[in-house]
Structures are given as structure tokens and as C-alpha cells.
Amino acid sequence: MLNLDAKTLNQFKERYEADKQSLAVAGAIAKVGLNDASVNPEVLRRHTFVFSEEPKIGKITNQKSSGRCWMFSALNVARLDIMQKFNMETFEFSQAYTFFYDKLEKANYFLESILETLDETTDSRLIKHLLQAPVQDGGQWDMFKGILAKYGCVPKELMPETFHSSNSSRMAAYLTTMLRSFACELRTQHFTAGKTAEELREAKAEMLYKVYNLLVKCLGQPPVKFSYAYRNKDKKYVRLPETTPQEFFRTYVAWDLENMVSLINAPTADKPYGHTYTVKFLGSVKEAAPICYLNVPIDVLKQVAVASIKDGHPVWFGCDVGKNLLGKEGIMDLDSFNYDLTVGEYQHMNKAERLDYSESLLTHAMVLAGVDLDENGKSLTWKVENSWGKDVGKDGIYSMSDAWFDEYTYQIMVNKKYVPQEYLAALQEKPKELEPWDPFGALAMMQ
């Protein structure tokens, strides 16, 4: 056994002081930090932000200090249908509207999960997992699919941003404390008074009203009916007939949600390609269909994304955004930093190993808004529409290398018409259930 005793530490010190390169680099790292001292200038020259396939997108949006990236990216894809139908240069949906119902539905989903697990001990791994973050901002495409189907969507003007929609941490923390207290109350009544889950649901209704009360005060009252007026690109004034949020989505976005599928790339041994997966106790709208991932090789994932983009439809996608990211420049490239030169080499893990050893998972959702293809149709770089405002990247646009896509992109949402026929049969099978703490139970929520 090796102990960090005085002899060992002295050997480390002597070895370090004999390494002239480490001594030279140490000053730069101490002065500007590891990342800036390790930037690879060659990467900056590689990314020209010119792409051969670029469908139209709207103005860059800004989720600000909230974890609503998965909503922003989905709505940024959905708004393109509105822009085309209404002949508008840009358009934006209310993210506060969908945020309101996501929080309310997550509260209900959490309380139902507590009622479904009353016989679990309080120190069980499952109960600890449920209590960890019952109403966090993050989410997955299938969770948003349930929100859209049940509640529809509204233009941003009809439910604008509030302090807490753009700065959600304090609201989420208060809701979390409230829901943990409710969980304690429900479980205590079960253990001490012998109340069943069905009996406890009477108390749940009052608990949900308290959540609703807080959400209205923080986010505003969602519209039930509205009339929307706008001017199109030709400056023509148009007023739509009064409608509901659900009718607005069905009529003007007109997505067939049943045809929108979630593809993942999980090259781990426990998730064979060509099969579907779901995650236990992960969801938002309780009565909605459970999350369903179809696992495909990375080349298939890219093939499907390219097909959708070439057909004029940008693609919602989830990735581990913080890896090798030049944030200000908006570059996602495996070679962004020369860490091996500044701090030394070590054996790097592959994608499957990173998932298995908790080194990587889905953290952020954005939009694949274009791709640069070579003369043989191979993807070189990808145009990414982010939702962090115009002050990062090139006016809010990022450039992602194809190699970075391979290693850190985990999920896309597309119409299933772009998916190769040999994989579609898997959508008819019963998905394999993954444990709640599986890496693909992670939620996109990076701010």
C-alpha cells in the first residue's frame, strides 16, 4: 500500500521541480486559469461558422438564470411552423406558460410517486432519489411532449417573463422544501395512522393547490382563452379568432406528437442498439405516455439529423455541453484545449466508459440548426442554436465539430419518417425499464 508520507511527497516535489515544462506552464495557469492557458488556437481557425445546409431559424432566445433549455429548444423548433404560416420574420412562444404547467405537473408526479412507494423505507435508495430534486427545472423531450399535448402553447406576449421564470432557483428551492414536507406528511400518516394511498390522495389535492398558489404568484396566471394579433413581414395586420392554448398548438404548429420520436446514442453494454428504453419514476404529466428512447448507433443518429435538416426541419438535441467548450467563442470541439500539454497526459475513456463511470451525461438541450456537408455528404461541422442570448457564441450560434457530436451528443427528437425502417419496429416493443439513477435519467437543465 502506498501512503502519502513525507518520503513520497518529497519524491513528488523533486520530480515536479525537475520538470521544466511544468514550471513554465504553472505561472500561466495561476494567472489566467487552466482553460485559458490551454486553449488551442488552431481550433479557432477551424470553425468558420459557414454551413452548407441552414434552414431558417428565429431570433436567438435567452433562458437567463433558469434550467429551461429543453423547453426553449423545443419551442424554438416549434415556432418555425408559426413563422411560416404567419409569414413572420421571427416569433417566440411563452416559456413561462409551459414552465408553469411543468412545475405543477412535476409536483403531482412527485406526490404520486411518494404514494406509490409508501412501503419503501425512508432510507431506501429510491426514496432518497425521489426526494433529491422533485421539481428541478430540467427535463426531456418526452416530458415536454406531454405538456404540449395537454396544455398547448401561447405566444410570449400572452404570458411574458417574470422575475422567477428568468431566475428560478429561489422558487424551485421553496417548492422543493414544500414538497419534501408534503412527502413527510403523507408517509407519516401511512406509517402512524395506517392510511392507504387512496385515502391520502384527498390530502394531495390541497397540497397541489398550495403549489398552484405559489406558481401563480411567481409566474403569473396562465391564459385559458386568448385572441392574438400580429403584423407579418409585409406589415399586414392580422387578428386570429379567439382560441385556447391547446387549439393554438393543434391548429398552427400542427405537430403530430405521436410521430415525434426520441433517439439516443448509448453505446453501453446494458443498452443494445435497436431497442427502446424508459426510466422508472421519470416524467412530468402523470397520465402521459412514459418516456421512450430508441437507441441507435451514432452514425444513424447523424444520418437522421441530416435528413431532417436537409428537409428544412431543425432538430432538438441533448448533449453534455460543458465538455471541451469554448463558451464565449461558441465552439464545441474535442481539440479545444491542449490539456495534455499543460497538465499532462492520462488514459482517456471512451463514450461508453464515460457513461458507466459518471464522467458524462446529458446536461443541456439546444437546436441543430444546420450542418456543413462535404462533397460526399459527410458532416463536418454542425450549426447549433443555443438559448443563452446573443452575447455568447457568434450572436448566439455555436459551431460543433463532427467528432464532438460523436462523443457528447446523446439524444435527438425528430419525426419518425426520417428514421431508417429497420429501427422503427422497435417502437412497437415494450421499452426496457432503466433504474431512476441511470445516466439516461439525467435531465437537460444547464443554465
Q: Which three cell numbers stand for residue 368?
A: 441543430
Tell me the C-alpha distance between 292 and 369, whole Å: 24
Q: Which listed residue (47, 164, 190, 364) is catalytic?
A: 364
DSSP 216-268: HHHH-PPPSSB--EEE-TT--EEEPPPB-HHHHIIIII---GGGEEEEE---S
Q: Where are the alpha helices (DSSP H) in 87-124?
A: 95-116
Return left, alpha or beta for 309; rule: phi > 0 is left, psi -120 to 50 is alpha, else beta: alpha
Kind plus residue range of the DSSP H or E element containing 429 = none
Tell me the C-alpha distance between 368 and 401, whole Å: 12
Nearest to 151 by CA among 75, 210, 214, 86: 75
Match 435531465 to its residue by C-alpha cell.
443
Q: Which listed residue (76, 265, 324, 386) is catalytic?
A: 386
Sign of CA dihedral 296, 299, 301, 304: negative
Q: Look up residue 254 and give its amino acid.
A: A
Q: Which listed residue (47, 62, 69, 292) is catalytic?
A: 69
How many CA atoms lie less than 13 Å away from 3 in the CB half-sphere? 3
Tell me the C-alpha distance between 25 and 80, whole Å: 48
Which pLDDT score is estimated for 446? 83
Helix (H) and strand (E) counts for the chain?
Answer: 17, 13
Which pLDDT score is estimated for 152? 98
348 in active site: no
Residue pair 322/363 in contact by the 8 Å Cβ criterion:
yes
Q: Which three cell numbers stand for residue 422?
A: 429497420
Q: Which three cell numbers stand for residue 126?
A: 429510491
Residue pair 58/76 in contact by the 8 Å Cβ criterion:
yes
Determine the distance from the C-alpha atom of residue 275 to the mean position of all C-alpha atoms in its chain, rounded to a whole number: 22
Q: What is the pLDDT along the chain (447 residues), one digit of tens a residue?
A: 778 999 999 999 999 999 998 988 999 999 999 999 999 999 999 999 999 999 999 999 999 999 999 999 999 999 999 999 999 999 999 999 999 999 999 999 999 999 999 999 999 999 999 999 999 999 999 999 999 999 999 999 999 999 999 999 999 999 999 999 999 999 999 999 999 999 999 899 999 999 999 999 999 999 999 999 999 999 999 999 999 999 999 999 999 999 999 999 999 999 999 999 999 999 999 999 999 999 999 999 999 999 999 999 999 999 999 999 999 999 999 999 999 999 998 999 999 999 999 999 999 999 999 999 999 999 999 999 999 999 999 999 999 999 999 999 999 999 999 999 999 999 999 999 999 999 999 999 887
Tell me the C-alpha distance between 116 and 114, whole Å: 5
Nearest to 398 by CA among 366, 373, 374: 366
386 in active site: yes
218 in active site: no
Q: In sequence order, what are the beta bridge partners of 62?
A: 388
Q: Which three cell numbers stand for residue 217?
A: 404568484
